[in-house]
Amino acid sequence: MSDDYAPPQDPLTILHDDHQVLLVDKPSGLLSVPGKGPHLADCLLTRVQAAFPMALLVHRLDRDTSGVMIFALTPHAQRHLGLQFEKRQTKKTYIARVWGEMAGKTGTVDLPLIVDWPNRPKQMVDHETGKQAVTDWRVVRAKDGETRVKLMPRTGRSHQLRVHMQALGHPILGDPFYATGEARDYPRLMLHSETLQFRHPDGGQGMRITAKCPF
């Protein structure tokens, strides 16, 4: 990451909070956690902790991805939610705008991923040593040379949705790592975490929280 990190200064958008969990809508361009160096200290975690000092990290979103992020407000909630993510019991739905008009209405990408060490943090498909990564997709609308698509990851690999869409020949618009040419020339990464389904740490009730897509 370069020195030109200039995160948006939008006020915190709280989607839900109670005695155990806090869900917020992360803006695009803001790190989830601090990066290396004082110029990368501003992040969603520190902003959340300024308002909710007890907040604990559960998962992350890429800097350029917007949408639903959950924080725990107790150690019990952090353990409970952490296990749900680890055991793939949470369900996430993303909205993306991708380059080109996708053929077909639904499909699944099953391509194993590994970090591309010389170019990290980029990831790449590797059938020999990559870790399993699976993404279901469903077209919402395809016209004017692009497609609006819902992405439902079954696994949670770094950059999974971005690499999987690129592998299909439909990179996510505005992606600084995986898009090229006109597909890259957008004001932001067109990827948004729209919904998160999980079980509440106090009693196990199913919850579904949504953040409205900004594009």
pLDDT of residue 4: 84
Average pLDDT over residues 34-53: 96
Per-residue confidence band for 1, with pLDDT thresholds at 50, 70 and 90: very low
Torsion on CA atoms 75, 76, 77, 78, rounded to nearest 10: 50
Task: Tell me the pTM.
Answer: 0.96
Residues forming the active site: 62
User: Could you read off the pLDDT of 111-170 as tens digits, one per residue?
Assistant: 999 999 999 999 999 999 999 999 999 999 999 999 999 999 999 999 999 999 999 999
Residues above pLDDT 90, as percent of the chain = 97
User: Could you read off the pLDDT of 75-106 as tens digits, one per residue?
Assistant: 999 999 999 999 999 999 999 999 999 999 99
